[in-house]
Amino acid sequence: MWADGFNGVYDHLASRAAFVVASPDTVDAQKRLAAGRGWRFPMVCYAQSPLAQDLGYRDLADSRHGGWNAGVSVFRRDGERILRVSDAEFMEFDDFCVVYHLFDLIPDADMNWAPSFSYVPEAAQ
């Protein structure tokens, strides 16, 4: 759901900075998922890289989501160095997923709601 929101604001984001979504899914799985959801932003696979763990988005001791955690990081080039200048973990009801905030406005909304769309490529299910 977060990526669906990014898709809607991608042009605004890309006009200010490079923007990419990284995931542990294979490139083929990412392409199928992006095509099925209509995503326009670039994606990269980091499954065989220590990047997610180095950035704090992978905790092998955490069984949720296979130890993969969603989040956002912002980087800046400083000469030859790349610095991470900010980051945040994604969670239900966070400021990065507009769906939850809109649902808050619905009287008597079901607080146990869960997404009904498949966010996993068919081959990975």
Question: pLDDT by residue (tens digit) across 54-71?
Answer: 888 887 676 666 677 888
Region for 108 from its dihedrals, namely left if φ exceeds 0, alpha if ψ lies in -120 to 50, beta otherwise = left
Q: Is 53 exposed, middle or buried (0-12, 13-18, 19+ CB in 10 A)?
A: middle
Q: Which amino acid is at 82?
A: I
Q: What is the pLDDT of residue 100?
A: 81
Tell me the residue length of the chain: 125
Question: pLDDT by residue (tens digit) across 18-44?
Answer: 999 998 889 999 999 999 999 999 999
Share of the chain above pLDDT 90, in %: 43
Q: What is the pLDDT of residue 11?
A: 96
pTM above 0.85, yes or no: no
Q: Residue 88 has what DSSP assignment?
A: E
